[in-house]
Structure 1
Amino acid sequence: MTRFTPEQLEAARDRVVPDVVAGGLSVLFCGINPGLMTAATGHHFARPGNRFWPVLHLSGFTPRLLRPDEQGELLSYGLGITNVVARPTGRADELSREEYLTGGRLLVEKVERLAPRWLAVVGVTAYRTAFGEPKAAIGPQQRVIGSTRVWALPNPSGLNAHWTAATMAEEYARLREAAAGTP
């Protein structure tokens, strides 16, 4: 893995990280926003301590552990990645409430256009803020966007110590099973 200097990571704050999307996906995973490592590499969930890729594999969404630079392979499994907020930051707490709300509105437009079966927001706090649902909990939500169902998943960041990779994989697997049963 490439090592970046603090200066190189800071320079990535202005980069746009392209979505990995297509129409009609089974699940569109939605991160909070790109971290600086993601912005520097151009690959989602690129920070070494982030557990997204291992959890995706442990939960059965992918047949093998993918690296962030293999993110394009997700499309072959009917999966994609986007973010609530496009602006890269060092930490999610650098985002304003207004950015979350604007991101939520833009996300609704994207989901209406792409029509995945499920939108999976990885971070219940981000979901609560972006969609104005302060009592939302991990799991399937009442909200439907067009024909797309919504699921709030635990944030795979290494900073989320309340969830282990194994317990996250169990929740992600619940979504995988629901997505498999969705007509």
Structure 2
Amino acid sequence: MPDVTADGLRVLFCGINPGLTTAATGHHFARPGNRFWPVLHLSRFTPRLLKPAEQGELPSHGLGITNVVARATARADELTTEEYVEGGRLLTARVERLRPRWLAVVGVTAYRAAFGDRKAVVGPQERAIGDSRVWVLPNPSGLNAHWTTATMAEEFGRLRVAAEG
């Protein structure tokens, strides 16, 4: 699954890993019911609701997308601890190279596993990767019932304000 990146992004969003729909289409967060694209728009990162097939427009808004783990699975719980740890190492190298203002990991469980931070919570983290700050966002999967679209948009909006500053 190719990343959508550029140098000097305001925010590099990082999903857990590609789902099967994403892998089949080549578009990040492509599964129907995933709330990433609506939340991105509701939080005013994008001026209109983008479709997954329009992901190439993200860099023009200072945004990009990557994943912690490259392997596609039906569910994130199919990933191993080793895959997360290796993914965290590779992600760190990617962030050091691209130097986004913020790395936004979409999913607190993935962040904890990839970076060995068992106490991490949603929000800005103490950790930085080079000059890039780190923010953990809620997982936009439709399976994440703990967060509504509205509450996710509020959290994404907090990051947007920080990234604009």
Q: TM-score scaled to structure 2, two decimals?
A: 1.00
5+ residue gaps in structure 1? Answer: 1-16
2:113 alignment partner in structure 1: 129
Higher relative contact order (CA 8 A, sep 6+): 2
Instruction: Supply the AA of the counterpart residue of 2:77.
Output: D
Determine helix, strand or coil for the equivalent of 2:113.
helix
Pairwise CA RMSD of aligned residues?
0.3
Is 1:23–2:7 an aligned residue pair? yes
Counterparts of 1:42 and 1:146, CA distance in 2: 30
Q: Distance in 1 between the 2:121 and 2:76 partners?
A: 19
Which runs of 5 or more residues in structure 2 are unaligned?
A: none
Q: What is the identity percentage for the equivalent residue pairs of Structure 1 and Structure 2?
A: 79
Larger Cα Rg: Structure 1 or Structure 2?
1
Cα deviation for residue 21 of structure 1 reads 0.3
Q: Which runs of structure 2 are paired with 1:1-183 in the superposition (5 Å)?
A: 17-181=1-165
Q: 2:87 is matched by which residue type in structure 1?
A: G
1:129-163 residue CA offsets vs partner (Å, 9 max, x unmatched): 10000000000000000000000000000000000
Once the two structures are superposed, residues 24-73 of structure 1 have per-residue CA deviations (whole angstroms, 9 ceiling, x without a partner) of: 10000000000000000000000011000000000000000000000000
Q: Distance in 2 between matches of 1:26 and 1:77?
A: 8
Distance 2:67 2:51 in 1: 18
CA distance in 2, matches of 1:144, 1:135: 16
Q: If the length of structure 1 is used for normalisation, what is the TM-score?
A: 0.90
SS at structure 1 position matched to 2:39 = helix
Structure 1 residue 20: Cα displacement: 0.1
Q: Secondary structure at the match of 1:151?
A: strand
Q: 1:170 Cα deviation (Å)?
A: 0.0
Q: Figure out how many residues of one structure are paired with residues of the other and give that number.
A: 165
Q: What is the deviation of 1:82?
A: 0.0
Cα distance between partner residues in 1 of 2:108 and 2:60: 27
Give the whole-Å Cα distance in 2 for the aligned partners of 1:94 and 1:39: 15
| CA-to-aligned-CA distance 1:89-119 (integer Å, 9 cap, x gap) | 0000000000000000000000000000000
Runs of 4+ in structure 1 deviating by more than 3 angstroms, as ranges, are none
Report SS of the residue matched to 2:66.
Answer: strand
Aligned-partner residue type, residue 108 of structure 2: V
Aligned partner of residue 19 in structure 1, secondary structure: coil
